[in-house]
A and B are shown apart, each in its own frame.
Chain A
Amino acid sequence: MPSEEYLEGIYQIQGRDFVDAGIVSSEMKKKLKEKGIPESVIRRVAIVTFEAEVNIISYAEHGTIRYYIAPDAVTIEANDVGAGIEDIELALQEGYSTADDSIREMGFGAGMGLANIKNHSDEFEITSVPDEGTNLRSTIYLNGK
């Protein structure tokens, strides 16, 4: 039974901090488990959050991940200050990547991230200004689409 209360919070992310990649995802997962949210939803939120963290760490100077847990949906919002994306349509294509070797050595940069976020979202929005930053919003419904 989903809780009726509304919960929100924010995490700060530092660019190039690969060792901490996934910490927000792990924290979100623990938080959602405590609230008794269905496993399949938790898994999707954990994946979306992880990919969003990796994007900020890989391509931005710094950023934030906000979460909103409502009775019917979980929303993840990632906002960063950094390189931004020139061509969002291209960046959404699986396999397209601008990652350098330093990112790949950390196990990321396959060009799957944005597409993976979109695939796991019920609602997905992204806007970006090159050399300024990227804003991404993913909503996952608690009771399926």
Chain B
Amino acid sequence: MACANHCLSSSGVEIVTLEQIKDLLDAKVVVGDDKLELEISTAFGADLMSDVLAFARSGCLLITGLSNPQAVRTAYALDIAAILVCRGKALTDKFIEIAKELGIPILWTEYIMFEACGKLYREGLTGCIREVIVEDKQRAQ
């Protein structure tokens, strides 16, 4: 159920709707006008889809500056809830067409990734994972 302001789910996790994310980041809804009630509680930010494929979890918001069709297909493979394109990246017709076809909502903001992440974190969204555990032998010296 949607809340008037941001609210806690029964498990104590902060929930934000796409509508609230849109308002918070002065974002345009490019795809998914009918899905603004969608509830999100976690996010993952990256431009490398290889890292998204390795680390992102289902149901999260993908914050990215990569606005090519591969980003949409990556989101689809992982059951990612929605994509927030940051840095005002230009969107191609192909990108929008595939997002519509695969049913992935697309929000678009001119904020840089750091600002977008910071504003969402302050609202209570958390990373879909907190950190990546690196084996000792691969740890940077």
Contact = CB atoms under 8 A, between A and B. Distances in A.
Interface in A91-120: 93-95, 104, 106-113, 115-116
B51 A112 contact: yes
A67 to B, nearest CB: 14
Interface residues of B, number: 22
A13 to B, nearest CB: 14
B71 A107 contact: yes
Nearest to B47: A107
Nearest to B50: A110
A43 B78 contact: yes
Give the one of B48, B51, B53 with max A CB within 10 A: B53
B50 A111 contact: yes
A43 B58 contact: yes
Contacts of B100: none
Main secondary structure of the interface of B (DSSP, over half): helix
Interface string B129-140: 000000000100
A23 B73 contact: yes
Interface stretch (A45-53, A72-80, A127-135, A136-144): A45-53
**DSSP majority for the A interface?**
helix
Nearest to B57: A43
A107 B138 contact: no
Contacts of A22: 69-70, 73-74, 76-77
A43 B79 CA distance: 7
B29 to A, nearest CB: 22
Q: How large is the interface on A (under 10, 10 to 19, 20 to 34, 35 or more residues)?
A: 20 to 34
Interface of A: 18-23, 25-26, 29, 39, 43, 46-47, 49-51, 54, 93-95, 104, 106-113, 115-116
14 contacts: A21-B69, A21-B70, A26-B77, A39-B79, A46-B76, A46-B77, A51-B53, A95-B138, A106-B68, A107-B50, A107-B68, A110-B51, A112-B50, A116-B54
Given A18-B70, A22-B74, 6 more contacts: A43-B79, A47-B53, A51-B53, A107-B50, A108-B48, A116-B54
